[in-house]
Amino acid sequence: MEKPTESSSVRLTHTVKKGGCAAKLSVSDLRELLAPLAKSSVKFPDVIVDGSTFDDAAVLRWSKDQALVQTLDFFTPIVDSPFVFGQIASANALSDVYAMGGEPVSAMAILSFPLTSLPLSVGQEVMRGCLQILADAETPLVGGHTIDDDTLKFGLSVSGRVHENRILTNQKARPGQTLVLTKPLGTGTACAALKQGEVSEEGIAEEIRSMCTLNKFLDLLGEFESSISAATDVTGFGLLGHALNLARESAVTLQIHSANVPRFADSLKFLDRGILTKAHRTNWEATRDHVDLNGVEGPLQKLLVDPQTSGGLLLAVDSEKVDEVIFRLQKRFAKVSKIGLVVPRAHHYLQIQ
């Protein structure tokens, strides 16, 4: 078969069934898959954070004060532009290091490429988008691995560093803190609309800009960095899924004020029209027993489980410092918002108001 030679006419979203973080295994399937690991008796003293708490990345003690942050993330195309796909996939992978309070120091590429159905120029554009984001993150690409596969997939394995006393995990949220979300919700339904031909990439330009924005944030905070004790990035399991994990691991309840949750301009419109992914259903099934919705329903309820790709960070911030933190974060995250409170553990891990 002759290989295609043009990349501009290829609609990448039409080459896959699921795109971005919406292609992740569901929470229930993931927990079942990883169940045998919980029974392992092998322990390593230098492992500070492992997969048992479903945190964003692993952290290993490296020296007296420094720790190594390790993560990897890859997925299928979520947009049609190869260059933009490379940008989004790279920003998404780097996010896990930022969510742990770390700084990325190197990245390696993971590329599955269908040689018989896509021209190599598509892969070149994906890599070009990746390199632009890595340049913004001041992180070198030091290698990687490729395979010939039926479906295009791209992502990064990222190594980072963090001071051992400044590690942010999903286990340290404290009652009395304020919840802050750095990016709007709605990338899942927007990209589903793109795949279904309901909108063009230009029509979801705001969502694409957000997905391409690095979740680097500690550089903005200065002396207010210590006011944040816990963090997680909001990706394929939606706000409720990732908030539930933070609440469970911190043994607290999170009160989320739904009216304050930032969203893109067309998010509720797309959801009201039923533009959904499988992940909307599986995310709700995984969280519904732990959530008191207090009457929140319809498009707004679906927004709370919308699968994000390269979504924002959910932060637990000391309430007396939160206004200054918000002010500083606005320099990079225009729609950063206070969305709720951390309270003592109640019957439900999540209370929606």
- Pick the closest to residue 55 from 22, 90, 101, 88 (CA basis): 101
130 is catalytic: no
Asked if 126 and 76 count as a contact pair (C-beta separation under 8 A), the reply is no
Q: What are the two backbone dihedrals, phi and then psi, of residue 331, each rounded to the nearest 5 degrees?
A: -65, -25
Assign residue 39 a region (left: φ > 0; alpha: ψ between -120 and 50; beta: otherwise): alpha
| Interstrand relation of 228-233 and 313-317 (parallel, antiparallel or unpaired) | antiparallel
Which of 21, 130, 191, 212 is catalytic? The answer is: 21
60 close to 46: Cβ distance less than 8 angstroms: yes
Q: Are 190 and 206 in contact (CB under 8 A)?
A: no
Strands 103-113 and 141-148: parallel
Report the distance separating Cα 351 and Cα 118, nearest Å: 47
Residues that are catalytic: 21
